[in-house]
Amino acid sequence: MSVENSPLNFSGQSYALQGLRGKLSSDYVLATHTTWRVGGKADYVYAPADSTDLACFLQQLPPDIPLFWLGLGSNVLIRDGGIRGVVILTSGLLNHWEWLAPQVFYAEAGMSCAKIARLTAQANLSGAEFLAGIPGTFGGALAMNAGAWGGETWRVVQSVKTLDRRGIIHERDKTEFEIAYRHVKGRENEWFLAATLQLSPNPAADGLEKIRANIQQRNEKQPIGLPSCGSVFRNPPNDYAARLIESLGWKGKYLGGAYVSEKHANFIINSGTATAQDIESLVQQVQLSVYEKHGIQLTPEVRIVGEFATGETTL
């Protein structure tokens, strides 16, 4: 339904939203928007028509209503109790892109990383090929400095657009952010709306060939095509999470409907019957096992959000 003149009800209050072009849905199941295929309901989801429409929506959203952004859902575990407040959907929606200069590419947060890699490689530019190995949206890659095949997102970022809780759009230089391995820290209550990438010429014009070769290698080593989030844990310094997990015999072990991949130990798979609680508990048990045996605290790459279902608790 259109949200034009439709109220949003939260905590006993009703709010009229005017002049919007997107779609507001209530009591919305989020499992179909995550690559693990699990997760409870959101009170509301908003699918914006474009970035201007999203800014208009936020300008009217009361500050006490929680807000969460969701792209392809490839790096998130949404608990079975769901998410309170409003979830902003970006995948396939905030997807405008353009060339600002021969080597300067602009993309919005809802574009898939794979599409950005393909478009820039087709233009015989180098620097963004690694994005083809990230199974998510560009906004998610910006938020966590996602990387693959030796590349990292913020190495090619020139500047970003952010949107704050009041619906105000900001232009920010990359120097305004603290960037590290799988870590980005900027202004609180601002979300990535778009970014500009500074790329380099590729005289060999072999970007697409490199992407195909890397994807083939990835498919040989990782359980592609099964419901997972990609790598669950960050690699600790001078080691690999998969090696540590495999050394303790976790490959193929189940907890409920979730199991550690037999192909790559840093992947947890939904067998088809897993709950979010199954997956989270398995993540915690693997963490504990590695810490007790090796003294290494594995840090999840995946973001765990939302509420537990009634009766659920952490380990």
- Residues serving a catalytic function are 182, 231, 301
Angstrom distance (rounded) from CA 6 to CA 87: 17
Are 83 and 68 contacting, i.e. CB atoms less than 8 angstroms apart? Answer: yes
Nearest to 154 by CA among 112, 121, 197: 197
